[in-house]
Amino acid sequence: MVVFPSTIVPIYVGRDISIRAVELSSEYDRKIFIVTQKDNELDEITPKDLYDIGTVGEIIQTVRLPDGSYRVVVEARYRAKIVECIYSHTFLSFIAKIEKVEEIKDDSLELEALSRVVLAQFDEYIRLNHDLPEEASISLEEIRDEPDRLVDIIASNLPLKSSVKQELLSLSSPKERLLRLTLVLEKELKILRIEEEIQSKVQREVEEIQKEYYLRAKLKAIQEELGEREDLSDISYYKDKIRNLKLSKDIEEKLLDEAERLNKVPPFSPESGVIKTYLDWIISLPWNIYTEDKLDLKNVRDILDKNHYGLQEVKERIIEFLAVKKYGGAKKSPILCFVGPPGVGKTSLAQSISTALGRNFVRISLGGIRDEAEIRGHRRTYVGALPGRIIQGMRQAKSSNPVFLLDEIDKLGIDFRGDPASALLEVLDPEQNKNFSDHYLEIPYNLSQVFFITTANTTQNIPPALLDRMEILTLSGYTEQEKLNIAMYFLIPRLTAEHNISRKKISIPEDVILKIIKEYTREAGVRNLERELAKIFRKAVVFYLEGKKGIFKVTEENLAELIGPPRFLGGFIEKKPEVGLANGLAWTEVGGEVLPIEVIHMKGKGNLILTGQLGEIMRESAQTAFSFVKSRSMELGINYNFSEIDVHIHIPMGAIPKDGPSAGITMASALASSLSGMPLRQDVAMTGEITVRGRIIPVGGIKEKLLAAYSAGIREVIIPKENENDLSKIPEEIKNHLIIRSVSHMDEVFPIVFHKEEILERVS
């Protein structure tokens, strides 16, 4: 704290060195030098941590407190400056040599004017600040001609920072001190004026609320006296709306009781707002409102075919549902889950289904949701509570039988706030969702007529209990021919409409579209293909706005000029046979991929080194493949002592995590090639899990893997024999361009990948 002369102040002393100083002063002449430290956070201080200017005072009273500290009352006399300050080991305290700061005499008119300004400002300060008595300004009139004392007394009564008070104490010239004080007072006055304005505004609002509350209470009392108890404006409105909902008797009674509660709470109380918000939600929901399904099967099929190419399995499922409904069955709507890579049309297909059925459509994204309350809502006891997304979606749908899309269901999270996937169990269970209970509504809502459709890139991240409640429909990636047809009959017509360009004014031949598909996009769907085509249409718009005439022609020669150089020109696929390099096939959330696997060996101590961010399952698969190859070392002509070499298996693109067992056959082939020195064919790709005895067992994602092999220019593919049934779902275009070999044992693989007939004799 900063102590000014001409003031009497209490000081609490707790630091040992300060207590010793008080005790020494009390033993001698009771004089003490009070100075402020520069950093208030410091406990241990040195002379350099103190300001130069302080105040000399006389101790009037000391009181020892129970904790050993002192309460000291000091009468401050005059300002002084430290000349020298040392720590005395004898007295265990600081001893300072000081000199008095003499007052500078100044009788100028400017000083008189400054004094008057300061007094006027302080008068206004006292008027605005009710903590100071009005008599304070009167007593200051007596010291108008003593500027230093005037500054000291006024500054000591202001709520200033220590640094500002120290500055006022340290200034030597009365003129400078008064001038600085005027600036300080002006700032404090501005703050007080703002505070007064805020206080007045708050006071007016409180008075208005109190007045309205009083008048309404008085009106209510008069109405009760006259027998007119209800305020028919709000309460009767809600009651009429609730009765029109035609709900069950017990639910209707509960809601009417809720409306009646409005009579018992003040109109502008928070509870009144909570009740009204709740009732507004109730009456805004589409209770017992249903749209009529379009049961013309041919019309529905035409709409689905018009908006989407292929996807026959999904379309047939919708037709079957309508056929059963038309025949008199299907009391409940199906719950479908579209699983497939991005861009294959999962979301847009759901919209087309709603159009075909004549139902309203609503979509919510579940990606990143971690709070169960997002699904079930918050209980009304919480401030700002609202229903969950399901009920919000039903209000948005305006009917109780919409097509309801739950997008990205595989992206749900889980944390300390609950598991939203578990909350969805009731929503997606046909046996339970007739009485879906939202925490906010606290009354059951019938979801049994809602046509729920969910989408996911993979089922691996969906909990089994939730997966069991949905019918899985897989939307695989498109072939090049399918992408071409989608571009010609769906994307280009849509882009011509969006860019307001006549189809006759732009020429994009099929060979150009195929070039874009092969060299500019590598995807299972058509999202990037649409982006590349949109670039061409934007160039065409610029072409015509610049006043150019004729048809905007796109050729293979000018394609790079329009949309940039090709981005995919062959990838990792080698042309000639290589030792220790095999092509595997992998399934990912975005489709299939060709997965090269590299193997080398060198002198070592029998270690198997695995790199490329491999997961635990893939690491075990590598160990299994290595064990099998070692068991076939004689037949393969491998003459190494395995305890004297290290084998390194690497899968490129190390930044991408990889896992799964389907690369076992590929790793075994690459290991056999590296250790035997026989080159592997690079026009062959393979997939399959291997056992330690060499048996090949089935894997998933066969269609996506074959599509990836076809796109990469692979000629021959090896798959597990038990996956032959999956070939019925493969487009003829793919099967006609690939030689697909099914195998049941690793011994059948070696003659294919090494292309050496003697291998067959060795391993048989």
Cite the active site residues.
Answer: 662, 705
| Residue 629, token pair as written in the block | 């190859």
| Residue 64, token pair as written in the block | 């020892």
Please report the beta strands in 351-430, taking only residues with DSSP state E, as ranges in sequence order: 361-365, 403-407
| Residue 236, token pair as written in the block | 């009767």
DSSP 395: H
Phi-psi category of 30—alpha, beta or left, where left has phi over 0 and alpha has psi -120 to 50? left
Amino acid at the residue 335:
I
Q: Using an 8 Å Cβ cutoff, are 572 and 596 in contact?
A: yes
Could you identify the residue written with the tokens 């085509």?
Answer: 533
DSSP lists the bridge partners of residue 74 as: 9, 59
| Residue 155, token pair as written in the block | 């500054």
What contacts 570, CB < 8 A, 6 or more positions away?
Answer: 713
Q: How far does Cα 210 stand from its chain's mean position? A: 44
Q: Using an 8 Å Cβ cutoff, are 92 and 17 in contact?
A: yes
CA distance readout (Å), 307 to 316, 351, 355, 356, 360: 15, 10, 10, 10, 17
Phi, psi torsion values for 102, nearest 5 degrees: -75, 145
CA distance readout (Å), 512 to 508, 539, 566: 6, 16, 12
| Residue 687, token pair as written in the block | 């997939």
β pairing state of 716-720 and 684-686: parallel
Measure the CA–CA gap between 357 and 182, rounded to whole angstroms.
79
Phi, psi torsion values for 461, nearest 5 degrees: -95, 5
CA distance readout (Å), 720 to 479, 663, 698, 724: 22, 12, 5, 7
Measure the CA–CA gap between 446 and 287, rounded to whole angstroms.
8
Q: How many CB atoms lie within 10 A of CB 256?
A: 14
SS3 of 427, please?
helix
Q: Using an 8 Å Cβ cutoff, are 642 and 603 in contact?
A: no
Q: How many residues does the chain have?
A: 764
Q: Using an 8 Å Cβ cutoff, are 632 and 763 in contact?
A: yes
Helices vs. strands in the chain: H and E counts, helices first:
28, 23
